[in-house]
Structure 1
């Protein structure tokens, strides 16, 4: 048995694949237009004509092995393929159905032919299949696979050649399309530079350009902050405008306009306008924000949020504080209240954690007692409850004795209430709290604060570990960072946190959100590398995958792995080197 085939059978056995019945899972097909499907459609339509009346099927899958399209040269083959679920929507990963042309070619990362009796599953042995991965011609990322399947008696070496040819034509189509999209983005970029007279950035899937005016007006720290904010615009097909507080103290207005080729998104152009708000000027320092005890951060974006909440609290102006979950909205309100109104009681009420009756009773009690109020997550309430809350707060606002009361509500920025909602009429201002990824320069100070708060005073972050943490997207924000540090503290009580001490999820710097299966796979690769001290060949063998596959997984997930320090030379070794 060929080596890669033997290893594939071992992987299939370790995955507990049923050797009698194919266990392909059905996945609701993703109908989203992708780079792969756009490029593959004209190629597959043309190739389908080449196999007309031939006893073979031409199949396209995504990177997980899920069948996206199936072309039949002979319709008589359809019933046989349906009987083993080799049809659109079914996932033919090796871990599900064992050794097969689709899953194994994706696992190995190379084209291969699986003859009938080489299939791990008995019911698949009536077929032969040739699979070829489709990789992105620029990034090298695996996008999917092309597969040709026929009955075992029709096995021919030309199957593999045909599959490889189709995969190569799809790659060429991707490259041609990418070139067309990039040319359109470049055209709009040049037009914007010529006519706007402003700093301009162009951003696409694989393209990032900034004009000379951007580089002259903003230093490297401001440029990095602008790029970080514009990164969120990738893939957005509608115009939008946002304000970005830069490290220099300046607020920049970023206006994004998408670029299309027909109905395909090529990227977008960001026009940048510097604007100074409320007397702020470009300066290296900021002195308007109070020094709070229970939250930390000195970045421009975080400091602005602190200043605005503090200003509202000092003037007892009712405000909405919005942002992503875990970004520190409630912690900021409590910290400002402790600093500015320490003599008054702040009553926090989590609208999503109590019943409707308890929520209204606690709000009413706080109102009657003249306490300040923090109502969290009001956007999760239904319409009737929101109306009842609005009525209570309206009574409080109309009470002349309530002039000294301060009410704050928090909302999720993605699921907030519409601006016209009656409740929001009681709150003249909304203060956005930035997600952690927009003020990662606060991460070292924030990490130190969180470690101290959990009793880990003797634990410090190395420069390499801190740099790696700063590269992450932190979808869970500060709450996510705290859970990571708590996980490290459970395993290490003192010393320096090195790169290898970080959890598996923090050793991957990919910006896209991973599926549950992808997260488990990433963690398994990181654990194997840790166990074998970075030896990729040994880690691949332990995981039952090829060396090419583990290198691909490391690139795909952006896995960082610290190198073991070189052993210290003995005195005799140093003298020997000196003499030589």
Structure 2
């Protein structure tokens, strides 16, 4: 437990009880492997997000900033993963200090990334939070007080992100929290006023840079006893890593390339830390390389560079030079790469690869799907979630064009709808063999048809009555969308 981070009033025996939320957050931070001394940077790019939440939040914070221009307060907007999207402050000394601990746009400050802090706790517990001075898990944050309030979509109820206000630890936390609550409330109200006719929120950006401790790297806790195709690819990667070779895992996006590499590295080097770096937007490549590049070649460190086929040519050249320099060192280089295919590797990187491992897509491993679904459901809910035989057959029979990433999304949606995964909890896309891309009206029609047909004991006649159409139309729509419901 993080004894060094106990609040002073509790350490000195003043009788004050440490809040249970804070204790729980410290424990999670310890479990995540967060450093007690410094916050390790987690860079996730600085691309512009055009969601309604970001537009409204920035508008509210800009107005508040005009009022607090001369105050030592930094106003920030973050997404639901703790990624800082924007930051405003008129105090240059505070901004410089925040830059030193990476509390800046493009960096993630969730509990998993930075330990107990205001915005991380607010997002984890989904409620307004204040973290003062040495209540922070990491000592590098103990000169600040942070107040953060989560913001939920007023229509869907989905967690969108948080408003975070940070100042020096000596300042009033009550006023800080009141301002954060006001800004979060105004953001949600503005979102509600502008929500009519707006398009759906764009999908969040994928991970660009992440540093994980040894027990939290990609592939941690992943299933090992999967299909022979997966086991063969994993064994091939293990043998190459044992021989000190640079491995490239190639295959379709979402097929588990980085997971396979991380799992193989963990088997070969059980105590190593693993860094996972995914190609960012071009404007962020310089910062991306400077963050993790110095770690390459360090003892007990493995690096998985993901999607190198998306790197600009100049960045691939820089990376190639860095790798060749490290190859000359005394420490064996533990490096692996992912790309869609070997021929897509940038020219400067292709000669560095010693072994190529082909990772099979999920549609070629249908027996893995139910096992992975059970694993993903357990991770999402923290306990076993039963999957009915009918749902398992539907999952196994689907083609999974998005591979494991798509399966993870489907499972998360399913477990949010109930305590058992049945065909009723599965999205219509899983129960349909429609080949062409559906428009919004067709997708809605298919969804309503599937929901009506998957009600317990429902027949085509029941579905027709519920939808207000004829039974013949129901059968025609089933054929049109190639709806397949196991057991029917």
TM-score (norm 1): 0.42
Q: Which has the higher contact order (CA 8 A, sep 6+)?
A: 2
**Whose radius of gyration is greater, 1 or 2?**
1
TM-score (norm 2): 0.50
Q: Whose strand fraction is larger, Structure 1's or Structure 2's?
A: 1
